[in-house]
């Protein structure tokens, strides 16, 4: 392991980055939502508003930072990104106030846009598309391994002090940026050529017009972007409200803070272990090598998420709530690398690869910005149970879209 860590082979640097970033993210997120509920005392609408601010930051900065990545340097973009993410988490952990949490989401959102798409585009250019497909799958597995290791550490430090994993995780993100400064090579990157006297803004518009042309010409690209939109619609409300619903429906909210940390940490541990096992099975199969198999897998996964959202909303027993939540989160973990392979395969031009990935991220953000306040409003006016049911309804159109993609792939 140490031998590979000091190597500068882009394939291994990508996998190490997936491992370390997920290690630090999971270390933070195991207690992050609990910190918002228990320490900062956010209500359901404020919880969703925090997520909406994050996604609004992503929406505003996703395309500009993606174009900067294509114009200037993907390495520089990624390093800036992890530095801002680390700073954001430090602010959140050190200052347990609503406004500080909002500021942290802005910093984190901007930082995320610098890494979104850039990391995938960087490894694709450096190792080639064929080897990159394996890197995406192995990177997802490495990320899950990082999560498995992070959760026990987060539980231990979270029991001692609930905001400590957030502070330490932020410092580790800054350390990851330093690691990448030293080990990330960028030898095969070909920046977009600017016409003489053209500004970066004009070139960004030219780049976006290329994507518009490619999207008009490709039904698969349009379908993928629409699917990203509907996933955004449903996900923000569920991600912010699931823990409150779980604690209230199972009556765990009456437990001590230490007990709740152990329970939520245990749930996250089960999610990452299950995801790691299933991703390993998929990686050893041929699913990720054939688009039509990817579409079938995404369809089954979406159906499982929708039915589990309904089951989760109606459940009151700990076992049922836990079972449905595990299905939702494990399926999401599995679907992410399959979507990345799908988009990476159908992108027609390498020079706009990062912008394509950024565009997908921005469309997802539009969905979350639109769907989040709706779900938060429903939760405040009616109930969290009703809000989660609405989330299932918002996701359901992806089944039709994936069936269309499957038909196209079969000719």
**For residue 197, what pLDDT is reported?**
38
DSSP secondary structure letters along 331-379: HHHHHHHHHHHHHHHH---GGGHHHHHHHHHHHHHHHHHHHHHHHHHHH
**For residue 79, what pLDDT is reported?**
93
Are the CB atoms for 58 and 81 separated by under 8 Å?
Answer: no
Are the CB atoms for 70 and 354 separated by under 8 Å?
Answer: yes
How does pLDDT run across 344-394, given as a tens digit for each residue?
777 766 666 767 777 787 788 888 888 888 998 999 889 999 999 999 999
Range with the lowest mean pLDDT among 84-93, 197-206, 324-333?
A: 197-206
**For residue 73, what pLDDT is reported?**
79
Q: In terms of Cα–Cα distance, which of 189, 158, 173, 353 is closest to 257?
A: 158
CA distance 394 to 386: 12
How does pLDDT run across 39-86, given as a tens digit for each residue?
998 888 899 899 889 888 877 887 676 667 777 778 888 999 999 999
CA distance 30 to 246: 15
Are the CB atoms for 351 and 38 separated by under 8 Å?
Answer: no
How does pLDDT run across 266-291, given as a tens digit for each residue?
888 888 788 778 777 777 776 767 77
pTM, to two decimals: 0.75
Q: Return the structure tokens found at 283.
A: 């990686």
What confidence category does residue 196 fall into, taking pLDDT thresholds of 50, 70 and 90? very low
Cβ-count burial of 16 within 10 angstroms (0-12 exposed, 13-18 middle, 19+ buried)?
buried
Residue 110 clears pLDDT 60, i.e. is over it:
yes
């Amino acid at each position: 392991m140490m031998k590979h860590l000091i190597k500068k082979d882009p394939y291994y640097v990508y996998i190490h980055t997936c491992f370390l970033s997920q290690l630090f993210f999971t270390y933070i997120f195991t207690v992050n939502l609990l910190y918002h509920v228990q320490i900062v005392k956010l209500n359901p609408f404020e919880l969703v508003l925090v997520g909406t601010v994050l996604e609004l930051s992503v929406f505003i900065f996703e395309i500009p930072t993606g174009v900067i990545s294509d114009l200037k340097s993907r390495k520089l973009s990624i390093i800036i990104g992890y530095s801002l993410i680390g700073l954001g988490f430090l602010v959140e952990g050190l200052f347990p106030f609503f406004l500080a949490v909002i500021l942290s989401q802005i910093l984190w959102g901007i930082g995320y846009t610098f890494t979104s798409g850039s990391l995938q585009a960087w490894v694709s250019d450096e190792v080639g598309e064929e080897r990159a497909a394996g890197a995406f799958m192995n990177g997802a597995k490495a990320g899950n391994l990082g999560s498995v290791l992070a959760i026990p550490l987060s539980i231990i430090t979270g029991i001692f002090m609930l905001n400590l994993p957030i502070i330490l995780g932020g410092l580790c993100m800054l350390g990851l940026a330093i690691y990448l400064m030293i080990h990330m090579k960028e030898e095969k990157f070909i920046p977009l050529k600017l016409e003489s006297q053209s500004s970066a803004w004009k070139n960004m518009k030219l780049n976006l017009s290329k994507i518009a042309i490619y999207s008009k010409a490709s039904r698969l690209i349009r379908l993928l972007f629409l699917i990203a939109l509907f996933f955004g619609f449903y996900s923000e409300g569920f991600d912010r409200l699931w823990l409150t619903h779980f604690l209230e429906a199972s009556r765990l909210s009456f437990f001590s803070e230490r007990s709740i940390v152990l329970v939520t940490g245990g749930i996250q541990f089960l999610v990452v272990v299950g995801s790691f096992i299933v991703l390993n099975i998929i990686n050893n199969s041929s699913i990720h090598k054939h688009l039509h198999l990817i579409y079938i897998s995404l369809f089954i996964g979406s159906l499982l998420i929708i039915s589990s959202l309904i089951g989760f909303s109606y459940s009151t027993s700990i076992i049922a709530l836990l079972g449905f939540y595990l299905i939702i989160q494990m399926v999401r973990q599995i679907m992410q690398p399959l979507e990345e392979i799908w988009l990476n395969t159908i992108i027609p031009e390498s020079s706009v690869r990062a912008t394509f990935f950024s565009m997908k991220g921005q469309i997802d953000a539009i969905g979350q910005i639109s769907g989040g306040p709706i779900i938060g409003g429903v939760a405040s006016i009616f109930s969290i149970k009703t809000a989660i049911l609405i989330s299932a309804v918002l996701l359901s159109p992806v089944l039709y879209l994936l069936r269309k993609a499957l038909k196209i792939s079969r000719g």
